[in-house]
């Protein structure tokens, strides 16, 4: 068809004046029709090709490049990119007086954008070997995660060696500042604590189930739960575990003091992590919120240093409510408190497969009719080595924990 069109075209231009008019007109018409047919064929070919490419994007192209396309296609969505100079001005060149704390991935500074907007800047440690493109790609994805129980990312800064994340500022700081302090702990009445537990569960469920990323937090702890002006909990530091892959991360996460008490046995010992690792940390968090005590490092009369052992012991003796922080006993709902303690104990069970997923946890927190399964023995380190020789050598507290675990596990 294409050749015929060319021939007719040549015919028209070269021979038009010599031949009869009707012949010329016939040539023009023929050429015109052929041209339209050609365009139609080209059109069909292009469309077929495009369809094939769409199929490839959906199925054949590896996940990574599919993710790359994801934010580039989003033309009306953009994450603000802050200039290093702006951040330096906002934080007074990372002045020590603006330092809010140190997370697992670097220090956090308070800053002021202009006169009004307060921000929190996380300056990521320079040890990460991550390139600028990879950093930006990950940050773009994290920034799209929006939930009322996650701290909102406002923007980022990637300049030279510097990688920074800019978050909304949380006026009431982190949960641990309230929880483990006698004076401020009173400010968290039962309703507030219950609201915080539910909020964290919702935020975690969102991270775990979001089809785009499926983030496992890996460092859930009281100091990573920030509180907004109405004391709503917001999980922070999510997604950074994904950004920082490789050995540095693992080292860093393990080095953070205080995190140890939140790590599930399989993660602490074998480095295995899953959504159930987060469930374990969440269980510890529930028990800490209810008791106002840290899992590790705080002396608890007979079971010093380990809140899980203490909670388990009280629960097995039918004294679960004794776990509740004395400073909130006036505002407590017994049914809710017992239900929360039970959910907490279910989350910290030794075997990951016994622990509920966050979707179940959210349902369990809502159901107050005590129809939950009975928790099995929690996973805490002193009892993991089950040999009798070790228990006789260890200090009284872990010996009593061992004793407890043996009698109760065998009795059930
Ligand atoms: C910020 O502080 C660093 C050292 O901590 C210094 O080298 C740099 O010049 C300072 N920048 C500004 C803009 O003051
Ligand atoms: C939380 O922050 C808001 C705003 O800064 C403040 O008004 C409120 O008193 C704080 N709540 C507590 C319990 O400190």
Q: Can you say how many angstroms the Cα of residue 193 is from the centroid of all Cα atoms in its chain?
A: 21
Nearest-CA residue for atom 7 of ligand 1? 93
Atom of ligand 2 nearest to the CA of 188: 13
pLDDT for 38-92, tens place per residue?
A: 565 555 544 544 444 333 333 222 223 333 334 444 444 578 899 999 999 999 9
Q: How confident is the model at residue 16 (pLDDT cuts 50, 70, 90)?
A: very low
Q: Are 120 and 167 contacting, i.e. CB atoms less than 8 angstroms apart?
A: yes
Q: Which of 122-131, 166-175, 190-199, 373-382 has the lowest mean pLDDT?
A: 122-131
pLDDT for 372-405, tens place per residue?
A: 899 999 987 543 333 333 333 333 333 222 222 2
Minimum-distance ligand to the CA of 232? 2
Specify the higher pLDDT residue, 97 or 212. Answer: 97
d(CA 261, CA 401): 16
pLDDT recorded at residue 127: 63
239, pLDDT greater than 90: no
CA 107 to centroid of ligand 2, rounded, Å? 24
183, pLDDT greater than 90: no
The domain 175-410 belongs to what CATH superfamily?
Transferase(Phosphotransferase) domain 1 (1.10.510.10)
CA 109 to centroid of ligand 1, rounded, Å? 15
Q: Which of 70-79, 95-104, 210-219 has the lowest mean pLDDT?
A: 70-79
Same fold, 77-168 and 175-410: no
Pocket-forming residues, ligand 2, beta carbon under 6 Å: 171-172, 187, 229, 231
Where b means 16+ CB within 10 Å and e means fewer, 357-386 reads bbebbbebbeeeeeebeebbbbbbbbbeee
Active-site choice (18, 133, 219, 369): 219
CATH for the 77-168 domain, from 3.40.50.2000, 3.30.200.20, 3.20.20.150, 3.30.70.3270: 3.30.200.20
Q: Are 106 and 99 contacting, i.e. CB atoms less than 8 angstroms apart?
A: no
Q: Are 199 and 205 contacting, i.e. CB atoms less than 8 angstroms apart?
A: no
83 given a catalytic annotation: no
What average pLDDT does the structure give for the chain? 73
Is 89 a pocket residue for ligand 1 (Cβ < 6 Å)? no
Domain regions of the chain by residue span: 77-168, 175-410
pLDDT recorded at residue 266: 80
pTM of the model: 0.70
320, pLDDT greater than 70: yes
Closest by Cα among 74, 4, 333, 90 to 197: 333
Best mutation site among 93, 97, 126, 162 for ligand 1 pocket (most ligand atoms within 8 Å of CB): 93
The average pLDDT across 367-374 equals: 78
């Amino acid at each position: 068809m294409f050749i015929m069109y060319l021939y007719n075209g040549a015919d028209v231009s070269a021979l038009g004046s010599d031949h009869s008019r009707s012949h010329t007109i016939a040539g023009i018409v023929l050429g015109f029709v052929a041209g339209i047919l050609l365009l139609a064929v080209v059109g069909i070919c292009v469309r077929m090709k495009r369809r094939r490419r769409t199929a490839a994007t959906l199925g054949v192209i590896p996940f990574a490049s599919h993710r790359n396309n994801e934010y580039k296609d989003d033309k009306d969505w953009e994450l603000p990119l802050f200039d290093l100079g702006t951040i330096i001005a906002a934080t007074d060149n990372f002045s020590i007086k603006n330092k809010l704390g140190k997370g697992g991935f670097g220090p956090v500074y308070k800053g002021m954008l202009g006169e009004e907007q307060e921000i929190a800047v996380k300056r990521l440690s320079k040890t990460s070997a991550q390139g600028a493109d990879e950093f930006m790609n990950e940050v773009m994805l994290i920034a799209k995660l929006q939930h009322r129980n996650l701290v909102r990312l406002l923007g980022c800064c990637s300049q030279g060696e510097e990688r920074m994340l800019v978050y909304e500022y949380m006026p009431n700081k982190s949960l641990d500042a309230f929880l483990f302090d006698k004076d401020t702990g009173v400010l968290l009445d039962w309703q507030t604590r219950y609201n915080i537990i539910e909020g964290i569960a919702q935020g975690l469920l969102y991270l775990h189930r979001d089809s785009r990323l499926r983030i496992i937090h890996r460092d859930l702890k009281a100091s990573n739960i920030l509180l907004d002006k109405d004391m709503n909990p917001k999980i922070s530091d999510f997604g950074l575990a994904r950004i920082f892959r490789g050995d540095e991360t693992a080292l860093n996460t393990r080095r953070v003091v205080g995190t140890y008490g939140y790590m599930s046995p399989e993660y602490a010992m074998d480095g295995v992590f899953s959504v159930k690792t987060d469930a374990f940390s969440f269980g510890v968090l529930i028990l800490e919120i209810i008791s106002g005590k840290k899992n590790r490092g705080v002396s608890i009369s007979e079971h010093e240093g380990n809140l899980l052992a203490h909670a388990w012991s009280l629960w097995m003796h039918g004294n679960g409510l004794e776990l509740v922080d004395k400073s909130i006993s006036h505002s407590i709902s017994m049914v809710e408190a017992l239900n929360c303690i039970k959910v907490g104990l279910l989350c910290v069970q030794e075997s990951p497969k016994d622990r509920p997923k966050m979707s179940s946890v959210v349902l369990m927190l809502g159901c107050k009719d005590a129809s939950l399964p009975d928790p099995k023995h929690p996973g805490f380190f002193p009892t993991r080595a089950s040999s009798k020789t070790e228990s006789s050598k260890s200090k009284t507290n872990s010996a009593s924990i061992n004793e407890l675990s043996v009698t109760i596990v065998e009795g059930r």
